[in-house]
């Protein structure tokens, strides 16, 4: 170990001499020692998650802090985190291999209940972190083992996004429905969501001027439900869709199964409603076909389902505001209209909303219940039953913050950098269109998100603990516009080449990701993302966890794996020297990998 410390010092001095900077001896800071730095452990949490592929090994999450002012924690210090409890056995200790002074790392420890301890029982214990001669303890209390959720909002507060959701980072959202036939939401400053066509049509003063557009294009006697006849899906090819998602570099997809117009793209009991593409228009189960294609051709893609809890004009929906309920009326004549496929039931929530959500959960096997709007609901019971059922088959599932519950993750839209606590999982969604999820036929091709814009947004979001759910809007015939396909594949080429720095990474909570730098990390490496073309020297302004001796290379692009020159004089002084082949060899975002050696 002493020899290693001397080797590190020699490297530091050599790098300093080459750069003309003061030597490490002049700085008089020992960044590394065979004695571990002081550490502390905070915020232990007995989660309701388990390690994927394990026999329900429960995950305890906590933070380890390096409380030393100058000294690094490295893999040579062999930090190990275990649990001592009369109720739990540690079966998977936690570790940290690199931690800079003053910084923290999220650590997971796997535990299993001791014999005779019932799942869900209240328990206590102690978390102990040991690194070299340093020890840190903190008390632990919570519920041991994975038990059933109760059908209450309070019980579901304990649910968290599964680890697989944190790892997959990038998904494709799909807004496709009757609104894809008129496909209109105006342009530029007057544009708004084209999938809200029916709602905008009822407001002559709305900025989209949908009321006027419909009257001029279709006349006053063509009602919204009449678009079902033209929602043919004749060019819908589910294999081509899922192949495109894979080419785009996405790891999951979330189609709209039913939007606010109440017209569904999946099958359910005719005793509650016949308002779907199974019974009208194309008479096809589009969601079933799409999920089957994913299972057969792109089985790595996780499958979610968007579902609107309310329906604008369902005669039995009652609420208020923009979702006051029906029946629908002709916006020009005031005539009360038939709500196509409507079946009279006792209660909208219990007799329509709940059975439809349960069809998606059990019949279609959704992994992400992506609700929208909230409003009247019975979601606590739906989610509790679904999560408990999925667990019995070894599956972990997730639901968002729009089901009328707090949910597992927040869902800002058209906001890639919301003011948001980094430790709370979030997912940013937006359309490739400047301001519409559904297809808007008047949007110029040049206004769609480019491959570069997609890549930059993805890196921004992932570096702040978010997922990016990017929406496409197919046409009414099921064809995905070519400009969307081209730009998705362009971004996908970059994403696949830089995948190890995006997927299955964690965010770095030390900085606010000031331009042009973004950061991600894994257990064994740290990634610096430079947004835009770099100069031949890149001075990294933040205290990244580099130590002399680490391997620093370019990641992705034509110069993938090329070693970079490094100057370093202590924490916060890292400068990268880039060969011209690296500067010229990539595009959009340049990524540099620090592979920990010590």
User: pLDDT (tens digit, 9 = 90+) per residue, 171-198?
Assistant: 999 999 999 999 999 999 999 999 999 9
Cα 257 to Cα 306: distance, rounded to the nearest angstrom: 6
For 409-441, how does the pLDDT look when each residue is reduced to its tens digit (9 = 90+)?
A: 999 999 877 776 678 899 999 999 999 999 999
Identify the band that residue 322 occupies on the pLDDT scale cut at 50, 70 and 90. confident
pLDDT tens profile 467-493 = 999 999 999 999 999 999 999 999 999
Mean pLDDT of 383-412: 97
CA distance 516 to 531: 5
Q: Answer yes or no: is pLDDT of 5 > 80.
A: no
Q: How far is Cα of residue 215 from the mean position of the Cα atoms in its chain?
A: 40
CATH classification code of 508-595: 2.60.40.1180
State residue 511's pLDDT score. 74
Complete DSSP assignment for 271-290:
TTB--BTTTSTT---HHHHH
Position 76 scores a pLDDT of 95
**How many CB atoms are located within 10 Å of the residue 3 CB?**
8
Q: How confident is the model at residue 509 (pLDDT cuts 50, 70, 90)?
A: confident
pTM, two decimals, is 0.95
Instruction: Note the pLDDT of residue 420.
Output: 66
pLDDT value for 30: 61
Q: Which of 526, 542, 541 is nearest to 591 (CA)?
A: 526
- Cβ atoms of residues 576 and 551 within 8 Å: no
CATH topology of domain 167-501: TIM Barrel (3.20.20)
Give residue 324's pLDDT: 86
Give me the pLDDT at residue 1, please. 38
15: left (phi over 0), alpha (psi -120 to 50) or beta: alpha
The answer to whether the CB of 298 falls within 8 A of the CB of 291 is no
Query: Does domain 31-147 bear CATH number 3.40.50.620?
Result: no
Q: What is the mean pLDDT of residues 36-47?
A: 97
In the predicted structure, residue 12 carries a pLDDT above the cut 90: no
Per DSSP, 563 falls in state B
Over residues 85-91, the mean pLDDT reads: 98
- CATH 3.20.20.80 domain residues, the chain: 167-501
The mean pLDDT value for 106-114 works out to: 98
pLDDT digits (tens, 9 = 90+) for 224-237: 999 999 999 999 99
List all residues 6 or more positions away from 10 whose beta carbon is below 8 Å from its beta carbon: none
pLDDT at residue 26, rounded to an integer = 40
| Longest Cα–Cα distance in the chain | 89
- The pLDDT assigned to 318 comes to 84
Residues of the chain with CATH 2.60.40.1180: 508-595
The percentage of the chain sitting over the pLDDT mark of 90, rounded to a whole number, equals 90
Q: How much is the pLDDT for 514?
A: 87
Res. 27: pLDDT tops 50: no
Greater confidence (225 vs 509) lies with: 225
Q: What is the mean pLDDT of the chain?
A: 94
DSSP codes joined into one string, 466-485 = EEEEEEE---TTSPPPHHHH
Confidence at 377, pLDDT banded by 50, 70, 90: very high
Angle at which helix 238-247 crosses helix 286-297, to 10 degrees, equals 50
Torsion of CA 319, 321, 326, 328, to 10 degrees: -170
pLDDT at 282 > cutoff 90: yes
pLDDT-derived band at 328, boundaries 50, 70, 90: very high
The predicted structure's pLDDT at residue 421 = 65
Q: CATH 2.60.40.10 in the chain, residues?
A: 31-147
- Give per-residue pLDDT as tens, 579-595: 999 999 999 999 999 99
Whether the bond between 516 and the residue before it is cis, its omega within 30 degrees of 0, is yes
User: What's the rounded mean pLDDT across residues 98-122?
Assistant: 97
């Amino acid at each position: 170990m002493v020899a290693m410390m001397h080797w590190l010092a020699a490297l530091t001095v050599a790098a300093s001499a080459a750069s003309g900077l003061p030597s490490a001896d002049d700085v008089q800071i020992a960044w590394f020692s065979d004695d571990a730095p002081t550490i502390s452990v905070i915020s232990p949490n007995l989660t309701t998650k388990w390690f994927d592929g394990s026999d329900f090994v429960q995950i305890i999450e906590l933070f380890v802090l390096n409380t030393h002012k100058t000294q690094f924690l490295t893999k040579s210090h062999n930090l190990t985190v275990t649990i001592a409890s009369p109720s739990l056995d540690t079966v998977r200790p936690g570790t940290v291999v690199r931690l800079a002074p003053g910084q923290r790392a999220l650590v997971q420890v796997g535990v299993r209940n001791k014999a005779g301890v019932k799942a869900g029982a209240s328990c206590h214990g102690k978390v102990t972190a040991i690194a070299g001669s340093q020890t840190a303890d903190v008390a632990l209390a919570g519920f041991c083992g994975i038990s059933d959720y109760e059908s209450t909002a309070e019980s579901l507060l304990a649910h968290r996004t599964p680890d697989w959701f944190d790892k997959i980072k990038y998904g494709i959202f799909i807004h496709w429905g009757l609104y894809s036939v008129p496909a209109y939401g105006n342009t530029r400053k007057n544009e708004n969501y084209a999938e809200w066509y029916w709602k905008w049509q009822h407001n002559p003063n709305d900025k989209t001027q949908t009321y006027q557009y419909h009257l001029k294009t279709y006349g006053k006697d063509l009602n919204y439900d009449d678009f079902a006849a033209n929602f043919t899906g004749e060019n819908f090819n589910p294999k081509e869709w899922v192949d495109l998602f894979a080419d785009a570099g996405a790891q999951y997809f979330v189609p709209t199964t039913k939007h606010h117009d109440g017209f569904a793209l999946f099958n359910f009991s005719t005793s509650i409603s016949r308002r779907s593409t199974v019974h009208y228009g194309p008479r096809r189960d589009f969601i079933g076909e799409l999920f089957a294609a994913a299972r057969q051709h792109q089985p790595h893609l996780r499958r979610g389902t968007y579902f609107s809890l309310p329906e604008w004009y369902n005669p039995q929906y009652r609420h208020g505001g923009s979702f006051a309920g029906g029946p629908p009326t002709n916006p020009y004549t005031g005539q009360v209209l038939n709500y196509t496929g409507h079946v009279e039931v006792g209660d909208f929530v219990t007799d329509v909303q709940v059975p439809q959500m349960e069809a998606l959960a059990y019949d279609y096997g959704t992994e992400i219940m992506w609700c929208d709007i909230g409003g009247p609901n019975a979601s606590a019971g739906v989610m509790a039953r679904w999560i408990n059922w999925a667990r019995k088959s070894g599956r972990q599932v997730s639901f968002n913050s729009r089901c009328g519950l707090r949910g597992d993750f927040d869902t800002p839209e058209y906001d890639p950098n919301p003011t948001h606590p980094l430790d709370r999982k979030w997912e940013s969604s937006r359309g490739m269109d400047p301001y519409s999820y559904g297809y808007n036929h008047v949007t110029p091709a040049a206004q769609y998100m480019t491959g570069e814009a997609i890549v930059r947004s993805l890196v921004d979001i992932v570096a702040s603990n978010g997922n990016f759910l990017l929406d496409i809007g197919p046409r009414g015939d099921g064809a995905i516009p070519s400009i969307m396909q081209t730009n998705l594949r362009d971004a996908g080429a970059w994403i696949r080449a830089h995948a190890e720095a995006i997927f299955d990474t964690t965010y770095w909570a030390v900085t606010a990701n000031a331009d042009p730098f973004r950061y991600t990390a894994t257990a064994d490496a740290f990634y610096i993302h430079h947004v835009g073309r770099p100069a031949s020297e890149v001075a990294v302004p933040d205290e990244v966890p580099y130590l002399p001796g680490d391997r620093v290379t370019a990641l992705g692009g034509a110069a993938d794996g090329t070693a970079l020159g490094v100057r370093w004089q202590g924490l916060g002084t890292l400068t990268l020297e880039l060969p011209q082949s690296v500067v010229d060899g990539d595009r959009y975002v340049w990524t540099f990998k620090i592979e920990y050696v010590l």
